[in-house]
Structure 1
Amino acid sequence: MRAPKNEAIGTAGQSFVKGEFEELGWGAVLNPEHDLGTDLWLMARDENRFDLGALVGAQVKAGESYFKSPRNDEESGAVVGWWYAEEKDSHFDYWSEHTIPHILVLRDVKTKTSYWVHITSDIVQSTGKGNKILVPASQRIDESNRDALTAVATSPSRAASLDGSAWGTNWKILHCDRLRYAMIAPRLVAPHPNKGPVLPDATEALAMLIQGRFRDLRSVSSLGVRVETKKIDDPDSYAWQLFDSALKWVETGDLSGFENLGDTTEPCYLAGVAAMQAAAYIEQGEPGRALATIQSVRSKEALGTIDLAWLKSHESRSLVELGRLDEARDLALEVQKLRAVAPNDPTANALVAVTTSIVFDTSGYGVRDIGELIQSIDTATRWWRSQTIASGLEKHFHKQFEKWGRDSSVTWAATDMVWTRLRSATLLAGLSADHSGWRNAMSLLARRELMKANSENAEIILESLTDLLRAGDKDSIVLAVRKYRDDGPTEPLVALVRIIDLESTPRTSLSAALECLHCVGIFAEVESADRHASWLISALEKPDHLRNRLKPLFLIEPALLDSIYGLMRSISAKLKRQIMDHILSLPVVEDQLLARGYGKIVSLVGDGQWTESDRAKLSARKGDNWELQDDIDKVLAVNDPEFKINLQDRIKNGDLKALEIFGNVTELSPDVASEMIEHLVMCIEEQIEKAKNGAYSLGGPEYGQALVVLNAWHRGEARWGAVEILLAEQATHPSHIIGTLHSLGLVAGQLSSTEKARFKPILGAISERPEYERDSVFISLDSSPQSAAKHALLRMFPEEVEDSSIWSLLAGTHRDRVVAASVVGERRWEGDRNLLYSLAKDVHPSVRVAAIAELVRWVAIDAYEPAVTTAVEEQILHGGPLAAARVSGLLLELPKSESRDRLLRSLADHPSALVRSLVADGLTNEKFVPTREIE
C-alpha cells in the first residue's frame, strides 16, 4: 500500500524540525502515539548543554500550502510572515491553554527552513469563522533565536510562591544549588530561629552566618566544638572548612582561611568559594584580586548556568571598580540571559537585578531605561535584605529611645543586634555582587559604629572610617573626619592617611579618598604626605591617564588640587619645592575652579619660601583667573614695595580686592584710608536703598565690616555714622551685618565711650530680634546677627555684665555660650576662671575653643603661675585638635612671656602639622600671618 504524499511531507517535516532542535542541543522526542495537537516534545537546554528543566510542545505544519497567506510590509512589500488559520477553536485553545508552552512551526520544504511562533491567547486573532495566527518570517529555528526559544520554554512556568518561605517548608532546593542559595537567599536554607535549638549541617550553618545569627552557631562554631557534639558526620569536611573560613572572615576580616582551603572539583563549591573570596577582596578595597580569583574559576567546564552567571556578576562588579566599564557592561548583558533560563530562581533574579544596575550605570544617558531598572531590582532577595536593614535600624532607634528615656534596666548577655543585622546586609549584598547595595549597607554599619565609639576606641574608629572610605560614602566620611579633626582622637586620622593608597584606590572610593586627604592631610606623617603629594602632582600633570583608567564621575583636577592643599602643611621641603615649580611652570589658568585650587596652594607656601626668582616669575604671569591672581598678589604684596604702592593707588580708587590683598590696614596712608572710607560709605548707602526696595546683592565683600576695621585704625578719617545706619536699618539682609557686628566686638577697645554709647541701643535691638529663616549659602550655621550683637555689646561694656546675663547666655545656644566664654574672659571676675574650666568641657567644639582661648589669654598675659599653667595645658590637650590649632595661633599674637612659651612648647609635638608649624613660628618670633585654616 502506498502512503499519501502529504503524510510523507508531514512526517519528514517533523523529523527535520526535530533535527534542527537537536542541532541547538535541545532534546527532541516525536509524539506519534498521543498526538492531539503536539507533534514534538522539546527539552530546553542552554548553550552549555545544561538541561533547564523546561519543556515545549511543537506542532509542525510542512508544505507549500501553509505559505499561501503571506503578510507583506506596507512600505517595502517584503514578506514579514504567514498567516496560519483553522476554522475550529479546539486546537488554538489546546495550544494556548496548555500548562506547557507550545509553538507552531511552519516548515518550507523547498528552502528547508522552519519558522515558529509561540502560541498565546493574546496574539491569536479571530477570523469570524475561526482563528488565525501570524508566524513571523524573522523567527527561524537557528542559533540566532536560541534566547527567544529559551524564553518560550521558561515563560509559562508558574513560580512556586515565596510566601511563607521563612519557615522553610514551601521551597525545595536542589543539592547542587544549596550553597548559592545559602549565600544569596539564606532564609530559604537556614532553619528558622523559632524552631528552637538545631544542629545545622554545614550549608545551613553558612546560611545562618550570612544572616548574622552568631549566637545560634555556638554548637558548630569550630572543629573542636563539632567533634565534641559527636552528632556531626565528617565535621572537618570541605563544606565545614568553608564555613570556618567564612566565620573567620566575617568576625575578624582575616582571609587566610580561604587561602588555606584545599582544592575541590565540585562545581558548586568552586563557584561559592570564588564568589565569597571576591566579595571579601572588594570589602578590603582590592578589586584586582577579586577579578583574578573569579577569572581563575570561571572557565571551569562543569559550572552550572546560574553559578557561571554568579561569577560573571562578580567579575563585572570588579571590572567596574577597576574602570573597565565596557567589559563590565558586556558581562552584565550576558547575565541577563537568566531572565529566560531561570525566571523562577530567586538567586538568578538577584543576579539579573545586580547586572541590570551595572548595565544602567555604565550606559549613556540616552540609552538608559529607568523603568526596566526599577522592575528588575524589585526582587525577593532585595526585599529580604531591606527587611534586615530595617530590623537593624529599628533596634538602633529603640536603643536611642531607651537612652533618651534614661532606661536603667540591664539586659544580660545581650547581642548587639544592630551590628549583626547591618553586617548581614553587607554580606547579602556583597555575596550577590550588588555593589550599590553593599555600599549603602556598609556605610550604615560604619556610621553606626562611629556613633557608638568613644575616644578610646581608636581601632574601631579607624576600621569604621576605612569602611566608609571603601564604600565611597564621601559625604559621611567628610563629616566623620571633620569631627575627629576638631574633637580628636587623632590617631585614627594619622593611620587612615597612612593606609590610603591612591594608585590602587578603586573607582567608587577615589573621590572619598581625595577628600580625606583634603580634610585631614595636616595629620599625615611626612613619609605618607610626600607619597600622596608625589602621586597627586603626577596625576595633575597627566589627568587624562587617571580619567581613562578609572573613568571617575567627578572633576578630577579640582579634587587633586584640594588634596594637595590639605597636605601642604605636612610635606617635606623637597616636595613643597616640587609643587612650587609645578605652579611656576603652569600655562595661563583661566578655569575658575583650577584657579581657586592653585590659589589656595599658593597661599600656604609661605611668603618667605618664594625666592626672588620665583616672585619674578609670579609677577610676570598674565591672564590668570582672579582666584589665582589674588593669591599671587598677596605674595607679591608682602615682598615687593613697588607692588604695595600700586595697591594703595588701587585702594584709593575704591578697589576692595586690593584692600584685602594689602593686609595690615595700619600701613595705609591717611589719604588712602580716607578715600576708601568714603567709597565704603557710598556703597553702604546704596546697599541700604536697595534693601528698602527689597533688592539684595548676596555674596562678595561686606562693606560694613571693612568700614569698621578702617574706622578703628584710622580714627581721624572714621565715619561711624554709616555703620550705625547700616545696623539700625531693619531691611538690611542678615548676611550684610554679621561680619560688621563681629568686627565691632573685636575693636571694642578702640572705640571711645561716646561711640560705644551710640551703638548700645542698636546692638541691643539686634540681639532681641526674632530668629530668621537661615540662608545657609551666605550665612554659616555657627553665626547669627543676634549672637554677634550680644558679643559686641558685652565686649563693649564688660563692666555692666551681671551674672544673670551670663546665666541667660549659658542656658542658650552654643553661640550664646561662646559669647559667655568671651565675656567672662574679658571681665575676669573672681570665680570666672572656674566657669571657663567648665565651659572648656562643653560638647560643642566652638564653645570649648572659646573658653580655652580665654584661659590661655589669662595665663599667658598674667604673672607666671606653674600650677594654673599646667591646668590650662591639660584643658588644651583635652579640648581636641581644633582647640590646639586656635590656641597656637592665639599665642603668636600675645606678648612673649614664660607662660606663653611654655604653652607653645607643650604643643611642639602635636599630631597636626598646622599646630607644629604655628608653634615653630611662635618660638622663633617669626611674624605671624593668619592662615585660611585658622581664619
Structure 2
Amino acid sequence: MRAPASEAAGTSGESLVQHKFESMGWAAIPNPKHDLGTDLLLRPRDERRYELPAIMGAQVKTGASFFREPRTTAEGNVEGWWFRDEDASHFDYWCGDAMPHILVLVDPATNDCYWVHVVRKRVLATGKGAKILVPRANLIGADHRQDLTDVATSAIPSPTWHGTAWAGASNIPHADLIRHALLTPRLIAPHPNAPVGELSGFQALAMLILGRPSLGHILAGDSRARMMADNGKGTWGLTLDQAETSPDWGWRAVAVMRLLLFEDDASHVEELLRLSTQPGQRVAAIVIASVSRTLNHDVEGALVLLDRELERDDQSPIDHAWLLVHRARCLQLIGSVEEAREVAVKVQRCLAAYSRDATAGALAASGAEMLFGSWHETNLATVITNLDSSASWWRAQQTAWGGSEHLDDEFKAWAHKPLPMMGGSDSAGRYLASAYVMALMAGDERAIRTQLGLYARHQLTSPWRARAGDEVEHLANQLDNLRQAGDRDGINQAVPHICAWVSAAAVRAAASTVSPERSTHTSADADLALLIHGADLLPPDRTCELAEWTIDALCDPEPYTKRTRPTFDVRCRLLEVLQSLTASGDSRVLRQVWDYLRRVELDADGAESHMIAHIIDEYPPQALTAVHSQSLKVLTSKLPSPIPDACRRLLRAISGSFDEEVLRRLSEADLSVIPAVGDITGLPNEAVRGAIAALSEAVRTEIAEGASGHFANNAPTRDLAVFNLFYPELADWAPLVDALNSRVLIDEQLRGLMRVLARLGRQAPDHVRADLACSLNWYLTAPPRGFRFSFGLNGLAAEAILGMDERRDVGEIVARLLGGNGSDRESAAALMSRSDGQWIPTLIALGADPHPRVRRVAAYSLGCLVTREVDGDSLARRELLRLFESPGTGAAGAAAGALTDADEADNNLQRDDELITVMATSLSASIRHAALDFRATESVLRIP
C-alpha cells in the first residue's frame, strides 16, 4: 500500500516525535495506554513512500530532567545523555520484545528529539538498575532516515529454504512469480522427478532458466512426454509453436528467451514488451530487453530502456530495485563507476526490509558486489552479508554440477570412451549455461563474467564440441564469449592454440567483430588481447582501420579510458596491439605507424619505450628507403633506450653500414650496445675484438656466479659463439668450452649456445669442434636444470654435436630421440632436415605429435627439404601443400619460415608457382607476405 505524500502532524512530546516521523513519510500511531513500554508504533516507508514490512516501537521521554546527566569529552563537549532505569525492567522489556525499540529524549526547549536503538550490548548495569547513552548525534530527521530504517528492519527473520528442492515455494505472491522464475527458478520449477501434469508458463520459464532437458521435449511436442503426462507420470505443456503465439505471458516469455539464449535471436523481445500489461510483466520484459541489448554491445540503448521504465515509478519496491541493479551494471560497463556505485547504494536501501524474499537477496547480492568490488562502501559487514545469498548458493550449485559433469566427460575422453552414438547430451554445458543466465538476469557483473568464462572454456574443451555443428561458427562464438567475459587469460591461451592447430578462420571471425571503441569496462582488456593474437588473420582493410583507431587512442586516450575505466596500462597495451598490426599490415598500415613514430614523445626509459622498440623491429627493411633513414636517426637521438638500438638495427638493414656510435662502443668492450648491432657481418676488427673480449669476460663471470648458486637469465654464451663463428681469426673459444665443462650453468643459459652450434657449428675449426663435442657429450643424458619446468638439453646437445660432426650416425641418434620427451622429438625433427629425404614419412607423422613445438619443427624441416629438392617423388612437397591448405596456421607458418630462411641460391621455391599461389591465399598475413616477397621484384610493402 502506498501512502500520500504528506500526513497530519501533532504537537509536543509524543506528538512531536510522531510529527517528525510523519514528516519523513513514516506511519506513526500512538500505542494503547495500557502498554507502558511503548508510546508509539512506527512503520517505515522507503523514499518512494512504499511501506516496508516492519514495525518499530518508540518510548518517548520529554523534559529537561532527562538531560541532567550528560557524558562529555575531555574538551567538555557533550556526547550524549544517560538514561537510567531503576530496576532495568523497561530495558528487559525492550530488549526482549520481538519488535525493535528506540528510546527518544525530547528537549522541550529546542524541540530536538534524540534517539538510541535499545539492544543488550548498549545497556550498562549500574548495580540495582541499568543505564543507556542516548547520543547527541542521533537526531530524528531525514538525515537519519536510513539509520532508523535499519533499526526498524533489523528484526525481520531470515527465511529458511530447507525442503524447497522438491516442492518449491508455495507462498510466493502471484505478482512475484515472474521475478522468481527468472532469478530463483529453483523455487518455481517443478522437481524433475515430480510429475505435475500441465505446466504453467512461469514454471516453464523457470525450467528454461535451469536448462531442464525435459522442457525441450515438451516444446518439441514429444509424444512420449505427453503420453507419460496423461498417465499421471509426467509433465506436459505448450509446444514451441504454441508458445510463440500464446496469450499467456509466461509461455510467450519462454519462446522469446529460448530464441534469445539459444539462437541469439532478439527479434521478438520488443514484442514481449508490447504484450506486458502489468507492472511485473513490464519490468521483467524491460530487464530481458536490456540484457539483450547489452549482449549486442548496445549498452547505451539498454540504459534508455531502463531509465524510461524507472520514470514511470509504478513498480513494486523489489521490481524497482531489479531495474536499478541493471542500470548500475550498464553504468559500470561504460565507465560511469561512481554513478553505478550510487545506484548500488540505493539498491541496498530498497531491499533492506525484504530479506524474506529470495529474489531480493539475489538483487542485494548483485548490488553488494558492485560496492564490495569498488572498496568504497564503508559498511563492509552489510555488504559482505548481502553477498551471501540463497540465490548465489543455488547458482554455485549449478556451477558445481556443471564442473562435476565436465570432469566426468574429460575422464571418459581420457579413457577413450566414445560419446554415445544416439542420445546423450552436454549436461555440463546445460548447468554452466544455467548459472550464467541466472547471473545475467540478476545483473551480477562479476558472476556474469565468471560463469560466461567457465561456459566458454567448457565449450572449447568438451568432447561434445564435435556435435556442435559448424565448427568455425562454434569456436568463434566461444572466443567471443571469452572476450565478453573479460577473460584475458583465456583469450591468451585459447586464441594462439585455435589459430595454429584448429581453425584460423574461427579466430579471424572472432577478431573481426572486435570494435574497441565500443569496449566496456568488462571486455576492454580481452578485446585488445584478441586483437593482439588475431591481428595476423584480420582482413587488410580491417587491419588498416584498427591501426588508425589505435594510433588515435594513443594520441588521445581519454575517450577510451573514460568509457572503459581500465585496470591495465592502456598505452602499453595499445602499443602491443600496434606492434601486431604493424607485423601483419600492408603499406597503408606501415605508413600510419611511421607517421606516428615520427611524432611520438617519450621522456624516460620504460615499458612504453620497449614496446616502441618492438614496433620498429617489426618494420621490414625493404619497406623503407634512404629518405626514411634520416627520420630514424632523429628517433635515435631524441628517444630513450632501447629505441635507439632498434633504430640502429633497422638503419643497418637499410644502408648496410654501421652507426659510428655502435662501432665506438663495441671497440670499448661495451656489451650494452650489442642489441643495436643487428647483422654482425662486416664489422671492423677493432670492434670485433672489443665485443669478443667483453663477451668472454661475461661468460667467465657467469660461470663464477653459477658455481656460487647465482644465475642470470641472459645468454652471453650464445653471442660469443656467434662472434667466434663469423670471425674465426679473432675467436676466443676457451670460455665456451669452460662453460660446458663447468656443468654449473642452467638450461636457459646454454640453450642459445647449443642452437647456434647446431646451425653453424661446422664453421668452427676442427680442434674447436672436437673440444666442444667432447664437452657436449655429458649433456646427452644430463637431467633438466633450470628456472622453470624444462625437458632438459638432451636433444639440443645431440643437435649441436651433429651440427659440428657430420660423421656421427644421425639415424641412431634420431631413433633414440624419437623415443624421448617432447624436447627430444623436437630435436629429432630438426635433425631430419639434414637428411637426403629418408626421414620424410617420419616428419609427416610427427606433424600429428601431441606437442605443438614438435609439429612446428617437423613442418620447418619439411620446408627445408623442399627448398633443396631432395624429395624426388614430391612427397614432402605434397605434404607442404596440405599444410598450407590446413585449417590452422601453426605448421604452415613454420614451413613458410623455412622457405624464406633458405639461401636464395639454394631455394628452388621460386620456380614452384602452385606452392606460392597457395601461400598467397592464406588467411595469415605473414604467410601471404612471404609469398608476395617471392614474386615481387621490389617489396610490396614499400612506404611511398
TM-score for both structures, normalised by structure 2: 0.90
CA distance in 1, matches of 2:128, 2:924: 90
Displacement of 1:597 after TM fit?
Answer: 1.7
2:92 matched to 1:93? yes
| 1:415 partner amino acid | S
Segment drifting more, 455-464 vs 379-388: 455-464
Please say if residues 869 and 908 of structure 2, whose CA atoms lie closer than 8 Å, have aligned partners that are also in contact.
no
Task: Say whether 1:576 aligns with 2:586.
Answer: no
Say whether the 8 Å CA contact 2:919–2:931 is kept in structure 1: yes
Describe the superposition over 1:337-382 as per-residue Cα deviations: whole angstroms up to 9, x where unpaired: 1463223333223323322222233356xx7776665443222221
Judging changes above 3 Å, is the alpha-carbon distance between structure 1 residues 644 and 72 closer, same or farther for their aligned structure 2 residues? closer
Residue 428 (structure 2) pairs with residue 421 (structure 1): no
Q: Which residue of 2 aligns with 1:133?
A: 132
- 1: CA distance, partners of 2:45 / 2:646: 70
- Does the residue aligned with 1:195 lie in a helix, a strand or coil? coil
Cα 1:672–1:68 shift into 2, 3 Å:
closer
Give runs of aligned pairs for residues 100-119 of structure 1, distance below 5 A.
Answer: 100-119=99-118
Q: Alignment RMSD, CA only?
A: 3.1
Instruction: Give the secondary-structure state (helix, strand or coil) at the position aligned to 2:528.
Output: helix
Report the 3-state secondary structure (helix = DSSP H, G, I; strand = E; otherwise coil) of the residue aligned with 1:138.
Answer: coil
Equivalent residue pairs, number: 909
Q: Distance in 2 between matches of 1:215 and 1:267?
A: 30
Pick from 659, 679, 683: which aligns with 1:664?
679
| Alignment check: 8 A CA contact 2:621 2:650 kept | yes
The letter of the residue matching 2:414 is W
* Residue of structure 2 equivalent to 1:5: none
CA gap 1:633/1:124 in 2 versus in 1, 3 angstroms: same
Q: 1:791 aligns with which of 791, 799, 803?
A: 799
- The CA distance in 2 between the partners of 1:445 and 1:384, in whole Å, is 17
Cα displacement (A) at 1:334: 1.4
CA distance in 2, matches of 1:398, 1:260: 41
Gap change, CA 1:130 and 1:232, over 3 Å in 2: farther
Quote the Cα distance in structure 2 between the aligned partners of 1:827 and 1:322.
59
Match of 1:242 in 2: 253
In the other structure, the counterpart of 2:694 is: 679
Whether 1:901 aligns to 2:912 is yes
Deviation by residue 1:400-431 (Cα, 9 ceiling, x = unmatched): 11222233583852231111111111111111
Cα distance, 1:803 vs. partner?
A: 4.9
**Residue matched to 2:35:** 35
Q: Which runs of 5+ in 2 are unaligned?
A: 1-9, 227-235
Instruction: Tell me the distance in 1 between the aligned counterparts of 2:923 and 2:680.
Output: 34
Structure 1: 5+ residue runs without aligned partners? 1-9, 930-935
Given the alignment of the two structures, is residue 153 of structure 1 paired with residue 136 of structure 2, yes or no? no
1:176 deviates by: 2.5
Q: Indicate if the aligned counterparts of 2:784 and 2:791 stay in contact, CA closer than 8 A.
A: no
Partner of residue 434, structure 1: 444
Distance apart, 1:528 and its partner CA: 0.9
CA contact (8 A) 2:169 2:187 kept: no
In 2 relative to 1, CA 257–908 (structure 1 residues): closer, same or farther, beyond 3 Å?
A: same
Measured in 2, the distance between the counterparts of 1:34 and 1:185 equals 45
SS in 1 for 2:843: helix
Note the 1:308-387 alignment, pairs <5 A. Answer: 308-338=320-350, 340-363=352-375, 373-387=383-397
Give the corresponding residue for 1:841. Answer: 848
Asked if 1 retains the 8 angstrom alpha-carbon contact of 2:881 and 2:918, the reply is: yes
Q: 1:378 to 1:32 in 2, by over 3 A?
A: closer
Report deviation, 1:693.
Answer: 3.2
C-alpha separation between the residues in 2 aligned to 1:737 and 1:711? Answer: 16
Q: Which residue of 2 aligns with 1:44?
A: 44
- What is the alpha-carbon distance in structure 2 between the residues aligned to residue 790 and residue 882 of structure 1? 25
Percent sequence identity over matched residues?
Answer: 28
Q: Summarize deviations over 1:620-647 as a string: whole Å, max 9, x none.
A: 3424222211111112223346644654
Instruction: Return the letter of the residue paired with 1:30.
Output: P
Residue 591 (structure 1) shift: 3.8
How much does 1:583 deviate?
Answer: 0.9
Structure-1 separation of matches of 2:114 and 2:843: 90
How far apart in 1 are the matches of 2:22 and 2:244? 44
Q: Deviations over 1:889-934 (max 9, x none)?
A: 22122424267634333311111111111121223366999xxxxx
Q: Name the counterpart of 1:932.
A: none
Deviations 1:142-166 (A, max 9, x none): 2222222222221112222122332
Residues 86-127 of structure 1: CA deviation (Å, up to 9, x unaligned): 334443322221122223333444433433333223323333
Deviates more, 1:263-272 or 1:559-568: 263-272
Q: 1:721 to 1:123 in 2, by over 3 A?
A: closer
Counterpart for residue 891 of structure 2? 883
- C-alpha distance in structure 2 between counterparts of 1:14 and 1:75, whole Å: 34
Measured in 2, the distance between the counterparts of 1:231 and 1:624 equals: 70
Q: Deviations over 1:714-773 (max 9, x none)?
A: 33333333321111112223322111111111113324554433223321201211122x
For 1:673, the aligned partner's letter is V
- The answer on whether the counterparts of 1:652 and 1:673 sit within 8 Å (CA) in structure 2 is yes
Match for residue 290 of structure 2 among 278, 301, 320? 278
Q: Distance in 2 between matches of 1:361 and 1:241?
A: 36
The alignment partner of 2:922 has SS state of: coil
Partner of 2:142: 143
- Could you say if the C-alpha distance between residues 576 and 856 of structure 1 is closer, same or farther in structure 2, counting changes exceeding 3 Å? closer
CA contact (8 A) 2:249 2:275 kept: no
The structure-2 alpha-carbon separation of the partners of 1:236 and 1:571, relative to structure 1 and needing over 3 Å to count, comes to: same
Residues 1:55 and 2:55 aligned together: yes
Distance 1:706 1:38, change over 3 A: closer
User: Conserved in 1, the CA contact under 8 Å of 2:581 and 2:589?
Assistant: no
The correspondence for 2:668, drawn from 650, 653, 657, is 653
Whichever residue aligns with residue 361 of structure 1, its letter is G
Residues 891 and 922, structure 1, Cα contact 8 Å, conserved in 2: no
Counterpart in 1 of 2:860? 853
**Partner residue in 2 for 1:13:** 13
Aligned letter for 2:700?
Answer: E
Q: Distance in 1 between matches of 2:685 and 2:792?
A: 33
1:828 to 819, 833, 836: 836
Conservation of the 8 A alpha-carbon contact between 1:493 and 1:523: yes
Instruction: Note closer, same or farther for the CA distance 1:113–1:407 as it changes in structure 2 (3 Å cut).
Output: same
Change (3 A) 1:713 1:60: closer
Amino acid at match of 2:509: A
- 1:119–1:190 Cα change, 3 Å: same
**Is residue 731 from structure 1 mapped to residue 744 from structure 2 by the alignment?**
yes
Q: Distance in 1 between matches of 2:426 and 2:240?
A: 27
In the alignment, is residue 303 of structure 1 matched against residue 315 of structure 2? Answer: yes
Quick one: which amino acid aligns to residue 683 of structure 1? A
Among candidates 644, 647, 650, match of residue 629 of structure 1? 644
Rounded to whole Å, the distance in 1 between the matches of 2:291 and 2:278 is 20
1:702-781 to structure 2, matched below 5 A, reads: 702-772=715-785, 774-776=786-788
Q: Secondary structure at the match of 2:132?
A: strand
Residues 783-839 of structure 1: CA deviation (Å, up to 9, x unaligned): 743332122124444553365543432222211111111223323374x22111211
In 2, distance between residues paired with 1:917 and 1:229? 51
- The answer to which of 755-764 and 444-453 deviates more is 755-764
SS in 2 for 1:299: helix
Matching residue's letter, 1:443: G
Cα distance in 2, alignment partners of residues 756 and 928 from structure 1: 43
Q: 1:42 aligns to what SS in structure 2? A: strand
Question: Contact 2:14–2:40 (CA<8 Å) still a contact in 1?
Answer: yes
